[in-house]
Structure 1
Amino acid sequence: MAVSARAGAVGALRLVCSAIAGLGLAWAFPPHNSYWLAVPSIAVFTLCLWRRGAWGAALIAAVYGAAFFLPLISWMRVVGDDAWVMLSLICVFWVVLTGVMVALVTRLPLWPLWAACCWNVGEYLRDHIPWGGFAWGRLAFSQADSPLVFLSTVGGAPLVTFSVALLGALLAAATLRLWPALGGSPRWGQLPERSARRAAGALVLAAGVVLAALATSGVSVLPQPGSESSVTAAVVQGNVPRAGLGFLGNPRDVLDNHIRATKQLAADVAAGLEPAPEFVVWPENTSDFDPYANPVIAADIQSAVDAIGAPVLVGAVMTNPADSTTVLNVGIVWNPGSGPAQRYAKRHPVPFGEYIPFRDVLSKLIDRFALIPRDFAAGDTPGVLTLGPATVGDVICFEVADDQVVRDAITGGGRLLVVQTNNATYGYTGQPEQQLAITRLRSVEHGRATLVAATSGVSAIISTRGQVTDLLPEFVAGSLVASVTQTDSLTMSDRLGERPELTLVALGLLAALFALMRRRLGSSSTGRPAGRGTSPTAQEIDVR
């Protein structure tokens, strides 16, 4: 009975520690910005999973995932508590899969390496499944202020995730080695010299990861033949009538706000208060009316473009020429005098936000879907656009979290990164700050200055090192004008593409499969059930 009671207490302690660690990971992200919490959070989570059976690991991971995602994406409550909980549960599922895999691989030599790869497996699946995935909450996206962010120039966001997870796993491994000396369970014995060496080795390796990130920070764009030039760019934030789902108010008000802000910028230029921009970026959904079908809207946009005397990238909604029952979320290059030219259609529309899967069934059950009367179709070409002297890679809103969409916009010829976004629904919830942190990582990853244009904020100018050089806060109308550098150079991450991520995912899957087969073979030979966890001895704790 005493043994059973102790086991129950230890199990409850694991769940409590997992919940605290999950909250700690949420606090690593904006708006809290305590990026350093990510590593100890992973370490505690890993210790809780240490050699647990599948069901025990799944329960621990479910608690951890819920404690992480529920606060992280609490901004979804603006849409509805049901949407918030359902999206969180989908994300928790992938955390559970990650946790079970981590528990499996802790039985292997070099397990911290395989445990880190398992995080890449979980994030890869969550980024793609279901309906194109939901990439929010990747470990990498918590690290915009960390030295680890510079590893993105080598292996993109997946390498940053791997590094955070590896540091956490190494910290857990060192803790396991040092545990007896810290007064841990006597069943694990005294701390032998071999254990001390391995604990020190784990910590040295962790320090090496950080030093590699610091070294990488000096070469954010690896040399490759190319050219650089400066261009003066402007971002306009016209603001919206109100925050929340009804942010549009009268949709015409949003367009008028941006026309007014652009003409004010033109007046400031004429008065010598601002330098003349060579191109201007408007946010996503600046015009909720199709300017190709509405001549009045087109004329009003043209008046603002002619006033500023430079091409304007206009965010708009238009009927899909290929299917009139759907619409496109587009960025249109609008030139002075001649009007609309190139356009980019958003390639990764948001499920349940821009289109409704199983619409015929779900629209009868959830009245809120009536707010999306027509589905947004996906574009099929990268957002490489010419705006006067600039060639930009355009992505729209949540696409900035999609590795492939952003990479295609840069490798396809984008010399600057532009993010058109409309976060008015989520004003004052922390979501705009989270998206800005993702954008900052993208600036470093691709070695591109970035212009963020948001209807209601946060709009920003970001340097190639991920630093915000100018910013407009939420729900303030205004504009930003800056000289930014555009470049043809590509980082190693751009040139390697998906290969680093796919390698890490393959290693994680192979390690988990090997651990599973090894465990099943071991249980068959001993007669002990494969799903039950055991308490390790000092000799069993292997970080070779």
Structure 2
Amino acid sequence: MPQGEQLIRIPLPKFQDIPGILKRFAANNYKPFLLSLLSAAIIVLSFPTANLHFLIWVFLIPILYMLYEKGPSRSLAYGLLAGFLANIGILYWIFNSVLAHSNSFIGAVVALCALSMYIALYTIGIWAFTLGVVGTSLPSFFLPIFASSLWVTMEYLRTHAFTGFPWALLGYSQWNILPLIQISEYTGVYGVSFLIVYFNVSLFQFLKSRRWVPLVTSLVLIGAAVATGNTLLKRNSVNAAPVLKTAVLQGNIDQYKKWDIVYEKEILDKFTALALTAAKQKPDLIVWPETAVPGYLPEDEHLSVWIRTLARETSTYHLIGAPYHDPKESDRFFNATFLIDPNGDVIGYHKKIHLVAFGEFMPFRNFFSIFGFDLLNTLGDFTPGHKPTVLTVKSVKIGPSICSENFYGSIMRGFPEKGAEILFNQTNDAWFFATSAPHQHFTMNVFRCIETRRQMLICGNTGISGIIEPTGKIGQTIPLFTTNYALYNLSPNSKITFYTRYGDVFSGLCSLITIVTLGIWFSVYIREKRYVKILNRLQKIQQKIKDLK
């Protein structure tokens, strides 16, 4: 050490001092931050891959405590904080995906933080603020109803507004509690979210004011849902006789090899080997993942010839995910899936209806280009399809959805509504890498099966591939990041469920309750404000009369 300089020693706390430090930390207005962090941690741990689903039933208690302690404005801030931290923990995979594509650390951080804050605003932020403003004037028995309806309304808006991103809705946390989630046949996933929020709010009312009626009501509702679910489980557990023997190919192609011409032969050889091996089991249909073909059909003639030859060699039908572009039609490009017959002819195709923002198309391109954001694929912008397409394989009608279309019950119900008896989902989750995202994506399919009472066969490039029954029970799966195929015997079902026929009626009812309640509250608020003004004027007049005397 140079002469004249002194070593600065930083005293470290002793072990016995730690409890006191924590008490001082909590006393210095850090309690709201800790409570926000607690709510966020509970939310993250309730979803895959932790799957501590029971925790979600108390996740709002810390937020509600702050709401009544700090008031609406503070609740908005801390609600946003809790939602932001929770989404960082759930959507962390976005950082990996953006970083791998752009090599921009800052860009990856901005993308993750922006989306996390956007979703936080839709859920806990606006919800906590609105409840803080309106909730104190509502009857105690009606407060859980309004709070749950408001939450469902915000989830529905998040599902559809600005392209929509309904990832990790509350109800999805209960994907493996089959008796409870059977109500989705009538309410969609929103019914499960409603019950979770209802219980949270009624439990807080009981803990804070010993109001037991809302808590008992919530327990009765949950019990009724479970009892109904057990009945529905028994009713839908028996499938019709299997009639469609289907093979699923999991190619396990690296995301950054898919569109590199250097690896085209490797990809073709891998899928050829898988298809020929699976064909030895004589399946009726072979299903490939989303965008499995490394080029455009039918534009790339050599790829069309390859598929035609392979179909004839395997003597069976193929459902193949591939980008679609036909120069004779237009200059538009689509993410599509093609049904190929045993002669190698294309007999139908489905164009993906709902595209992923920043993954398949660039929203507000002029604005985001200022910040250097670009698509996370090398194919450019896709054009969305217009409607679900039902295809027929050996007299069985199938509904072939593509990747993120399974986010939306409103899209998936369109397939059975048009006659589909079995559902498929072809996906490419390679750009999620080894994160929790493939698991969270896969479990959304559980609700789509219950809503429509259809078997669904999922075929993923890197996984997870597998089958889900009409009850939501997950069957045999192919593990992530393995190259393999699997055989499944599929049973068609032509039953039309309440959800298939009427869609999101439940969320519409919740939205109506929310709008009417806010409308009544606002009209009363305006009247009270006018009344206060009149009283103030009368008081001033009385004061002037006194002054004159």
Normalising by structure 1, report the TM-score: 0.83
Q: Does the C-alpha gap of structure 1 residues 205 and 362 become closer, same or farther in structure 2, counting only changes over 3 Å?
A: closer
- Structure 1 residue aligned with 2:4: none
Q: Encode CA deviations 1:9-42: one digit per residue, 9 max, x unaligned.
A: 5964233212211221121111111111111103
Q: Encode CA deviations 1:40-99: one digit per residue, 9 max, x unaligned.
A: 103333333238643122112101211211111111012122221221121122121222
- Structure 2 residue aligned with 1:93: 121
Contact map agreement 1:153 1:221 (CA 8 A) in 2: no
- Structure 1 residue aligned with 2:399: 393
Q: Does the C-alpha gap of structure 1 residues 99 and 258 become closer, same or farther in structure 2, counting only changes over 3 Å?
A: farther
Q: C-alpha separation between the residues in 2 aligned to 1:52 and 1:508? A: 23
- Structure 1 residue aligned with 2:33: 15
- Structure 2 residue aligned with 1:340: 346
> What is the correspondence of 1:225-304 to structure 2 with a 5 Å cutoff?
230-240=243-253, 242=254, 249=260, 250=262, 252=264, 253-267=266-280, 269=281, 276-304=282-310
1:445 aligns with 2:476: no
Q: C-alpha separation between the residues in 1 aligned to 2:297 and 2:258? A: 21
- Structure 2 residue aligned with 1:45: 63
Q: Secondary structure in 2 aligned to 1:486? A: coil
Contact map agreement 1:446 1:491 (CA 8 A) in 2: yes
Task: Supply the RMSD in Å over aligned alpha carbons.
Answer: 2.7
Q: Does the C-alpha gap of structure 1 residues 489 and 123 become closer, same or farther in structure 2, counting only changes over 3 Å?
A: same
Contact map agreement 2:152 2:510 (CA 8 A) in 1: yes
1:142 aligns with 2:173: yes
Q: C-alpha separation between the residues in 1 aligned to 2:519 and 2:492? A: 45
Deviates more, 1:469-478 or 1:52-61: 52-61
Q: C-alpha separation between the residues in 1 aligned to 2:63 and 2:223? A: 21
* One-letter amino acid matched to 2:186: V
Q: Secondary structure in 2 aligned to 1:487? A: coil
Structure 1 unaligned blocks of 5 or more: 1-5, 179-197, 270-275, 528-544
Q: Does the C-alpha gap of structure 1 residues 308 and 468 become closer, same or farther in structure 2, counting only changes over 3 Å?
A: farther
Contact map agreement 1:239 1:257 (CA 8 A) in 2: no
Q: Secondary structure in 2 aligned to 1:316? A: strand
- Structure 2 residue aligned with 1:374: 380
Contact map agreement 2:455 2:470 (CA 8 A) in 1: yes
In the TM superposition, what is the alpha-carbon distance from 1:287 to its structure 2 partner?
1.0
Q: Which has more radius of gyration? A: 2
In the TM superposition, what is the alpha-carbon distance from 1:518 to its structure 2 partner?
4.0
1:425 aligns with 2:425: no
1:466 aligns with 2:469: no
Q: Encode CA deviations 1:209-228: one digit per residue, 9 max, x unaligned.
A: 233233224225989xx987
Contact map agreement 1:98 1:121 (CA 8 A) in 2: no
Contact map agreement 1:312 1:387 (CA 8 A) in 2: no
- Structure 1 residue aligned with 2:221: 208
- Structure 2 residue aligned with 1:157: 189
Contact map agreement 1:221 1:489 (CA 8 A) in 2: no
Deviates more, 1:230-239 or 1:355-364: 355-364
Q: C-alpha separation between the residues in 2 aligned to 1:525 and 1:26? A: 47
Deviates more, 1:380-389 or 1:342-351: 380-389
Q: C-alpha separation between the residues in 2 aligned to 1:394 and 1:321? A: 24
1:120 aligns with 2:152: yes
- Structure 2 residue aligned with 1:66: 84
1:483 aligns with 2:489: yes
Q: Secondary structure in 1 aligned to 2:338? A: strand
Q: Does the C-alpha gap of structure 1 residues 213 and 360 become closer, same or farther in structure 2, counting only changes over 3 Å?
A: same
Q: C-alpha separation between the residues in 2 aligned to 1:454 and 1:72? A: 21
Q: Does the C-alpha gap of structure 1 residues 21 and 281 become closer, same or farther in structure 2, counting only changes over 3 Å?
A: same
- Work out the number of aligned pairs and report it: 490
1:129 aligns with 2:161: yes
Q: Secondary structure in 2 aligned to 1:106? A: helix
* One-letter amino acid matched to 1:136: W
Q: Encode CA deviations 1:186-245: one digit per residue, 9 max, x unaligned.
A: xxxxxxxxxxxx41552353243233233224225989xx987632222111111x36x5
Q: Does the C-alpha gap of structure 1 residues 53 and 144 become closer, same or farther in structure 2, counting only changes over 3 Å?
A: same
Q: C-alpha separation between the residues in 2 aligned to 1:11 and 1:507? A: 36
Normalising by structure 2, report the TM-score: 0.83
Q: C-alpha separation between the residues in 2 aligned to 1:285 and 1:23? A: 36
In the TM superposition, what is the alpha-carbon distance from 1:367 to its structure 2 partner?
6.2
Contact map agreement 1:221 1:490 (CA 8 A) in 2: no
Q: C-alpha separation between the residues in 1 aligned to 2:430 and 2:406? A: 17
Q: Encode CA deviations 1:116-140: one digit per residue, 9 max, x unaligned.
A: 001111111111121x211112112
In the TM superposition, what is the alpha-carbon distance from 1:359 to its structure 2 partner?
2.7
Structure 2 unaligned blocks of 5 or more: 1-23, 99-107, 534-549
Q: Encode CA deviations 1:394-418: one digit per residue, 9 max, x unaligned.
A: 2111111112111111211111111
1:503 aligns with 2:509: yes
* One-letter amino acid matched to 1:215: T
Q: Secondary structure in 2 aligned to 1:124? A: helix
Q: C-alpha separation between the residues in 1 aligned to 2:342 and 2:243? A: 21
1:84 aligns with 2:99: no
Among 449, 453, 461, the residue aligned to 1:455: 461
Q: Does the C-alpha gap of structure 1 residues 61 and 450 become closer, same or farther in structure 2, counting only changes over 3 Å?
A: same
- Structure 2 residue aligned with 1:36: 54
Contact map agreement 2:158 2:165 (CA 8 A) in 1: yes
Contact map agreement 1:289 1:317 (CA 8 A) in 2: yes
Q: C-alpha separation between the residues in 2 aligned to 1:422 and 1:392? A: 20
Deviates more, 1:83-92 or 1:70-79: 83-92
* One-letter amino acid matched to 2:161: I
Q: Does the C-alpha gap of structure 1 residues 118 and 307 become closer, same or farther in structure 2, counting only changes over 3 Å?
A: same
Contact map agreement 2:339 2:348 (CA 8 A) in 1: yes
Q: Does the C-alpha gap of structure 1 residues 76 and 518 become closer, same or farther in structure 2, counting only changes over 3 Å?
A: same
Q: C-alpha separation between the residues in 2 aligned to 1:84 and 1:10? A: 30
* One-letter amino acid matched to 2:279: A
Q: C-alpha separation between the residues in 1 aligned to 2:308 and 2:379? A: 28
